[in-house]
Amino acid sequence: MSLYSYMAWRNIWRNPRRSLLTMGAIAFATVILIFMLSLQFGNYSTIIDSVVKMRTGHLQVQATGYQENRDIHLAVADPSQVAATLDRAPEVSGFTFRAHAFALVSSDNRSYGTVVTGISDRELTTSSLARTISEGRFLTEDEGAQALVGNILAKNLRVKPGDEVALLGQGLDGSVAATIVTVRGILSSGQDQFDRVSFYIPLPYFQELFGMGEAVHEIVVIAERLEDVAGLKQRLEEEVAGDTGRALRVLDWKELSPGLLEAITLDLMTGFLFYIVLIVVVAFSISNTFIMAIFERKKELGLMLALGSRPARLTGILFLEYGMLTTLGLAAGILIGCLVTLYFGAYGIQIPGMAEMARHYGVPERVFPQLSFLSVGIGSGLVVGISLCTSLIPVWKVRRLRPVPAMAEG
Amino acid sequence: MLLQLAWRNIWRNPRRTILILAAVTIAVWSMVFSSALMRGIADQMVRNGIATLTGHIQIHQQGFRDDPSAAMHMKNPTELKQTLQDHLPPGALFSARVRTNAVASNARHSGGVTLVGIDPDREKKLSFVSSSIISGNYLDAEDPYGIIIGTSLMNSLKTRVGNKLVVMAQDTRQKMSSRAFRITGEYRAELEATEKEFVFITLPAAQNLLKMDEALSEICIVLPDREKVRETAAALARILPKDHEILAWQEMLPLVTATLRLYESIIYLWYLVAFTAMAFGLVNTFLMAVLERIREFGLLRALGMKSRWIIQGVMTESFFLLVIGIALGNALGAISVIGLSHTGIDLSVFAGGTQYWGLPKIIYPVLLASDAILVNGIVLVLGLLVSGYPALKASHFTPVEAMAHT
Amino acid sequence: MCIVECENVRKIYRKGTQEVVALDGVSLKIKKGEFLALAGPSGSGKTTLFNVLGGLDRVDEGCVILDGDELNQLTDSRLAELRLRKIGIIFQSFNLIPVLSALENVEFVMLLQGIPPAERNRKAKELLGDVGLGGLYARRPAELSGGQQQRVAVARALAGNPAIVLADEPTANLDSQTGARLLALMKEMNQTRKVTFIFSTHDRMVMEYASRLVHIKDGRIRDE
């Protein structure tokens, strides 16, 4: 250890109580930031995961315009061609076909308008739909006239597995599409919005009923990892969209649920406003220690100047001192923050009011913070930043110190 | 004398006092302002929820909520209206509605909607519809073919004001009944989901379509005072027949209620965090102030001052500091709340995000007296408590020890 | 050969609206190897002169040349460099950095000069031995008596191989016996190491050690 760092180290322990309190404030801010950021990031990945797994997938291939218009006519006429491309792509973990049409579904005494979706057996490889079955069982493609119904819709229709439901819609050619299907299973996703409207029938049966031939509306793709999505999208755009003269389009999860990313940005920004206020309060809390380190020692600093130290040298020593204080507080904060986060990451947290919100947004009722390099990095970065800013004021003061008046002061 | 001494003592080192005052002030400001913001959001969510057809209290046939169909109706509206007229507090408004699930379609497109039959004149006073028309006109009570739909639905049906729209719904006899309407107006709601869901026709047109005669699905009540909702709902439950269900907005808007509770938890957690951050500085500053004055305290002790008085002295200094900080923080908080009370904070840049969370586009902070009192109480009481440590420290210096200290 | 030359130096302090003339046209030449005492009552301007000679303060008029450098022409940073290389300073009290031991205090100046650690250590030990503190290397300033602290200060002042050592009332806080011993030590160093010493004092006993005595009063040199 050089004499300078040795001096800085001793200076810290000249007033151990004060240094400990200062480190405490720094550690506290670090713990809060790491924990809260982990909580936010953990939440976002759960929400994204749930949206991707339940609804949109990572990517979809659709006919251009379908996303905006939801028009039954805007279909992918030859999905097998796209499927061949997807089969060759190593980043694809699974894909499936879906088709949608608006229809009136009626039981003996109730009717509701809803969107009927045709699903293929491939659904099992791509979405968590099969895991939300609460009664009955999942569909297979080769059994024709059967349906999966969301639990709220089923309750409204007053049907249970085994009951019959009439479907009335309009086929691709404008003709009436009417049939009767048997309820095979009830879906309970936990998301009310979803369970109020879901109605699934096998894809081949859907295509026959609505006169769609081989056509589908969505080819839903799940990538191996979230990071693969951007690259995969670009490749698919070149191969699929290019080949068909832009009749087809590739959309990623951000485009498929447009509010989601903005919702996350908004939430993150709100969080950061709070964090900034927190670190400003901490900055003022620790600024006294930093400033006192100069004012108490004016004589001593004056002496060093008189002996021929350049002001920059004093600045260096003070920076070292502040740096050590910050580093110690930060290290303690990172350690405690990680432990707290890991603990709650394993057991989850329950905040009053969160459970109902969670049902709405389709996330688990307990929140699980997720420790990551990002949350630790951003949290520590903010703390280091504010400590650096706080130390600038006294350091600036030192530059204006003159030996004679400094030594004359107590 | 003691007060004067304490007051002078805190200004012995003005720089230090000002820094710690800044910490207290910002902490208090952040507590006041953040709770005002969150209350503002919550308040607006409640208001929006209430204005979007919910009202303060709704009356339905028992079971309507689980099965919102035409069959679930209240058969004797005249009697019901009379009871309400007699028992609701003065200034209360109510409006009768028919409400059911329906399918709206034109030549090429169709979609599921909630059909609402309203009394245009009465509805005007208690829900958002009449004030949200952006093109065309509000419903005319005399027009049995008029229909109002939201912008979002209009886009997805690819239609516009003046066009025809067919509405199909199940009537009281379980038969599908349909009729063509003409779009007379387009409305814009706070949330897209609202625009997609609700279409409005006149009450007689709805009763006619659904073959309900004079029957009603729902009565929506708005009281002059939101605080009286539960009380009034309970009173109505005693008077009205047992097959009627009386719901307060808290039960009808579970998500909003949950958000209110969540925000409340966040506010309290923030109080704790901001206070702790500030407390480190407070204790530290007082510790410095006390350690600097070891000799002085020793002298006071030597002069025969009891340790209790020394504690009292230091606590008084802390009290002054906290009171000034709190006053400044409150003033700053009040200024920010008042400053934003007209313009609000515009979040329309994050329109997608506000839609997703169901937040209002513009937030107007609302400062509640209870929050302000709580903030001030917490900071003052806990602040005094933590400054007990340096005070205790000061009281423990023995004269000899203190005089030896340089 | 002159190591220090002052010519017609004036220094004025402002206290509010009042002007205090601390140095009123001081001219002084000091030769290499002198052991010079600046004598005068408090308020006479001797501390100001001392600060000016030590490059701690700037003059308002006139010039000060130290070992060939005109002090008023130098930047703050160059002035610091000059203090480091050419001047050793001993104050009347608070000479030492509290967190450093006696040895480290002596080493500090050499550290600033960029002397390698081993040499620093050797030379600091030698100097402490010379001032009679051989066994007390590891003591912190708080653990040393006033006389011992001043001896460390003497060792520290010599550590940088300065051209000149300035001591501002070095004995003011010491009892007369300890003061006399310190003066004897300084004189010894002056003679064995051929270092110029300038010290200010108002103590008659101390003046007697001086090889040259300069009286100063009301900011002017009275006699020699």
Q: How many Å from the N-terminal Cα to the C-terminal Cα in chain C?
A: 19
Residue B4, judged by CB atoms within 10 A of its CB (0-12, 13-18, 19+), counts as: exposed
pLDDT digits (tens, 9 = 90+) for A81-108: 889 888 988 889 899 999 999 998 998 8
In a domain? residue A281:
yes
State the pLDDT confidence band at B158, using cuts at 50, 70 and 90: confident
In a domain? residue A189:
yes
C-alpha–C-alpha distance, residues A8 and A5, integer Å: 5
B148/B279 same-domain check: no
Kindly provide the residue ranges of all beta strands, DSSP E only, lying in B121-270, ordered along the sequence.
133-136, 146-150, 164-170, 176-187, 198-202, 218-222, 244-248
Q: In this model, does residue B228 exceed pLDDT 50?
A: yes
In a domain? residue B73:
no
C-alpha–C-alpha distance, residues C3 and C137, integer Å: 33
Tell me what pLDDT residue C174 has: 82
Query: Which residues make Cβ contacts (< 8 Å) with residue B369, sequence separation at least 6?
Result: none
CB contact under 8 A, A284 and B255: no
In the stretch 235-274 of chain A, residues with CB closer than 8 A to chain B read 258-267, 269, 274
- Poorest-pLDDT segment among A134-143, A196-205, B319-328, B348-357: B348-357
pLDDT digits (tens, 9 = 90+) for A324-355: 999 999 999 999 999 999 999 888 887 777 77
pLDDT digits (tens, 9 = 90+) for B45-80: 888 888 888 999 999 998 888 778 888 888 888 888
On whether the CB atoms of residues C102 and C139 are closer than 8 A, the answer is: yes
In a domain? residue B159:
yes
Q: Which residue of A has its CA nearest to C77?
A: A310
Q: In this model, does residue A315 exceed pLDDT 90?
A: no
Q: In this model, does residue A216 exceed pLDDT 90?
A: yes
On whether the CB atoms of residues A52 and A60 are closer than 8 A, the answer is: no
Q: In this model, does residue B138 exceed pLDDT 90?
A: yes
Residue A175, judged by CB atoms within 10 A of its CB (0-12, 13-18, 19+), counts as: exposed
Q: In this model, does residue B100 exceed pLDDT 50?
A: yes
CB contact under 8 A, A25 and B277: yes
Region B155-183: mean pLDDT is 90
pLDDT digits (tens, 9 = 90+) for A359-397: 777 666 677 888 888 899 999 999 999 888 888 888 888
In a domain? residue A299:
yes
Residue that finishes a domain, picked among B155, B186, B212: B212
Q: Which residue of A has its CA nearest to B393?
A: A17
Q: Which residue range forms the structural domain that includes residue B344?
A: 2-49+256-404
In a domain? residue B355:
yes
CATH number at C34-56+73-223: 3.40.50.300
Residue C121, judged by CB atoms within 10 A of its CB (0-12, 13-18, 19+), counts as: middle
Which has the higher per-residue pLDDT, A358 or B167?
A: B167
Nearest to C220 by CA among C35, C32, C81, C27: C27
C-alpha–C-alpha distance, residues C49 and C9, integer Å: 9
Q: What is the mean pLDDT of chain C?
A: 87
B208/B266 same-domain check: no
CB contact under 8 A, A3 and C104: yes
Region B297-319: mean pLDDT is 81
Looking at the DSSP bridge assignments, the partners of residue B223 are none
Please tell me which chains touch C, using 3 or more CB pairs under 8 Å as the contact test. A
A-B C-beta contacts closer than 8 Å: 180
Residues of B in contact with A156 (CB under 8 A): 66-68
Please tell me which of the candidates A260, A274, A285 has its beta carbon nearest to residue B23.
A285
Region B263-268: mean pLDDT is 89
State the pLDDT confidence band at A28, using cuts at 50, 70 and 90: very high
> Which parts of A135-174 fold into alpha helices (H)?
151-157
Phi, psi of B25 (to 5 degrees): -60, -50
Residue that finishes a domain, picked among B177, B212, B247: B212
Nearest to A22 by CA among C9, C64, B288: B288
Residues of B in contact with A263 (CB under 8 A): 350, 352-353, 355-357
Handedness of CA B394, B395, B398, B403 (dihedral sign): positive
Taking the CA of residue B356 and the nearest CA in chain A, the distance in Å comes to 6
C-alpha–C-alpha distance, residues A366 and A42, integer Å: 11
In a domain? residue A46:
yes
A313/A364 same-domain check: yes
On whether the CB atoms of residues A31 and A336 are closer than 8 A, the answer is: yes
pLDDT digits (tens, 9 = 90+) for A29-73: 999 999 999 988 888 888 888 888 888 899 999 998 888 878 888
Please tell me which chains touch A, using 3 or more CB pairs under 8 Å as the contact test. B, C
Region A181-195: mean pLDDT is 87
State the pLDDT confidence band at A180, using cuts at 50, 70 and 90: very high
B37/B100 same-domain check: no
Taking the CA of residue B231 and the nearest CA in chain A, the distance in Å comes to 23
B260/B396 same-domain check: yes
Tell me what pLDDT residue C183 has: 87
Q: In this model, does residue B406 exceed pLDDT 80?
A: no
pLDDT digits (tens, 9 = 90+) for C124-135: 999 998 888 888
Q: In this model, does residue C211 exceed pLDDT 90?
A: no
A-C C-beta contacts closer than 8 Å: 63
Please tell me which of the candidates C54, C85, C99 has its beta carbon nearest to residue A10.
C99
In a domain? residue B76:
no
Torsion (CA) A31, A36, A41, A42 in degrees, nearest 10: 90
Number of domains in chain A: 2
Residues of B in contact with A115 (CB under 8 A): 112
Query: Which residues make Cβ contacts (< 8 Å) with residue C146, sequence separation at least 6?
Result: C93, C173, C174, C178
CB contact under 8 A, C89 and A11: no
Which has the higher per-residue pLDDT, C44 or A161?
A: A161
Per DSSP, the three-state class of A275 is helix
C-alpha–C-alpha distance, residues A382 and A378, integer Å: 6
In a domain? residue A307:
yes
Residue B16 CA: distances (Å) to CA of A29, A280, B9, B288, B312: 21, 16, 12, 10, 21
Q: Which residue of A has its CA nearest to C88?
A: A307
In a domain? residue B272:
yes
Phi, psi of C134 (to 5 degrees): -45, -45
In a domain? residue A378:
yes
Domains of chain C, by residue range, sit at 34-56+73-223
Q: In this model, does residue A207 exceed pLDDT 80?
A: yes
Number of domains in chain B: 2
In a domain? residue B126:
yes
B37/B130 same-domain check: no
Q: In this model, does residue B288 exceed pLDDT 60?
A: yes
Please tell me which of the candidates A3, A10, A14 has its beta carbon nearest to residue C111.
A3
A115-139: string of b/e by CB count within 10 Å (b at 16+)? ebbbbbbbbbebbebeebbeebebb
Region A305-332: mean pLDDT is 88
C-alpha–C-alpha distance, residues B406 and C10, integer Å: 38
C-alpha–C-alpha distance, residues C219 and B268, integer Å: 68
- Percent pLDDT > 90 in chain B is 39
C-alpha–C-alpha distance, residues A404 and C160, integer Å: 21
Residue that finishes a domain, picked among A188, A222, A246: A246
CB contact under 8 A, A170 and B110: yes
Please tell me which of the candidates A106, A266, A355 has its beta carbon nearest to residue B353.
A266
Looking at the DSSP bridge assignments, the partners of residue C2 are C31
Region B352-370: mean pLDDT is 84
Residue that finishes a domain, picked among B212, B235, B267: B212
In the block, residue with structure tokens 């005089």: B403
CB contact under 8 A, A277 and B26: yes
Q: In this model, does residue C224 exceed pLDDT 80?
A: no
C-alpha–C-alpha distance, residues B85 and A315, integer Å: 79
Give me the interface pTM, i.e. the ipTM: 0.82
Taking the CA of residue A387 and the nearest CA in chain C, the distance in Å comes to 24
Q: Kindly report the length of chain A.
A: 410
Region B202-225: mean pLDDT is 92
Please tell me which of the candidates B264, B280, B352 has its beta carbon nearest to residue A259.
B352
Chain centre to alpha carbon of residue C138:
24
Which has the higher per-residue pLDDT, A172 or B97?
A: B97
Phi, psi of A90 (to 5 degrees): -70, -25
Per DSSP, the three-state class of A104 is strand
Chain B interface test: which of A285, A287, A357, A366 (most B C-beta within 10 Å): A285
B378/B266 same-domain check: yes
On whether the CB atoms of residues C201 and C38 are closer than 8 A, the answer is: yes
Tell me what pLDDT residue B210 has: 92
The secondary structure element, H or E, covering residue A399 is helix A373-399
Tokens of B271: 């109080």
DSSP string, A323-388: HHHHHHHHHHHHHHHHHHHHHHHHH-B--TTHHHHHHHHT--SSB-----HHHHHHHHHHHHHHHH
In a domain? residue A386:
yes
For chain A, percent helix, then strand, then coil, each to nearest 5? 60, 20, 25
A122/A98 same-domain check: yes
Region B162-168: mean pLDDT is 93
Q: In this model, does residue B326 exceed pLDDT 90?
A: yes
CB contact under 8 A, A303 and C57: no
Q: In this model, does residue B399 exceed pLDDT 70?
A: no
CATH number of the domain bearing residue B178 = 2.40.40
Residues of A in contact with C156 (CB under 8 A): 307
Residues of A in contact with C95 (CB under 8 A): 303
Region C38-52: mean pLDDT is 84
DSSP string, A190-228: S-HHHHTT-EEEEHHHHHHHTT-TT-BSEEEEEESSGGG
| Three-class DSSP labels, B25-92 | HHHHHHHHHHHHHHHHHHHHHHHHHHHHHHCCEEEEECCCCCCCCCCCCECCHHHHHHHHHHHCCCCC
C-alpha–C-alpha distance, residues B77 and B87, integer Å: 15
A84/A204 same-domain check: yes
Q: Which residue of B has its CA nearest to A169?
A: B110
Q: Kindly report the length of chain B.
A: 406
The secondary structure element, H or E, covering residue C36 is strand C35-39
On whether the CB atoms of residues C88 and C165 are closer than 8 A, the answer is: yes
Q: In this model, does residue A6 exceed pLDDT 70?
A: yes
Tokens of B49: 């929820």
Per DSSP, the three-state class of A28 is helix
Tell me what pLDDT residue A410 has: 47
Tell me what pLDDT residue B58 has: 93
A274/A167 same-domain check: no
Nearest to A14 by CA among B293, B401, C98: C98
Please tell me which of the candidates A25, A262, A355 has its beta carbon nearest to residue B281.
A25
Phi, psi of A158 (to 5 degrees): 60, 50
Residue that finishes a domain, picked among A193, A213, A246: A246
Tokens of A3: 């004499």
Give yes or no for A25 touching B (CB within 8 A). Answer: yes
Q: Which residue range forms the structural domain that includes residue A234?
A: 65-246
Tell me what pLDDT residue A243 has: 65
A32/A156 same-domain check: no
Nearest to C11 by CA among C69, C50, C67: C50
Give yes or no for A397 touching B (CB within 8 A). Answer: no
A302/A237 same-domain check: no
CB contact under 8 A, C160 and A403: no
Chain C interface test: which of A307, A313, A320 (most C C-beta within 10 Å): A307
In a domain? residue B339:
yes
Please tell me which of the candidates B170, B288, B353 has its beta carbon nearest to residue A288.
B288
Give yes or no for A273 touching C (CB within 8 A). Answer: no
Region B370-398: mean pLDDT is 89
Q: What is the mean pLDDT of chain B?
A: 88
CB contact under 8 A, A288 and B257: no
Please tell me which of the candidates A305, A307, A310 has its beta carbon nearest to residue C109.
A307
Please tell me which of the candidates A18, A69, A264 has its beta carbon nearest to residue B288.
A18
In a domain? residue A252:
no
CB contact under 8 A, A352 and B262: yes
Residue that finishes a domain, picked among A246, A278, A304: A246
CB contact under 8 A, A156 and B357: no
Residue C169 CA: distances (Å) to CA of B251, C144, C179, C213: 86, 19, 10, 14
C138-176: string of b/e by CB count within 10 Å (b at 16+)? ebbbeebeebbbbbbbbbbbbbbebbbbbbbbbbbbbee
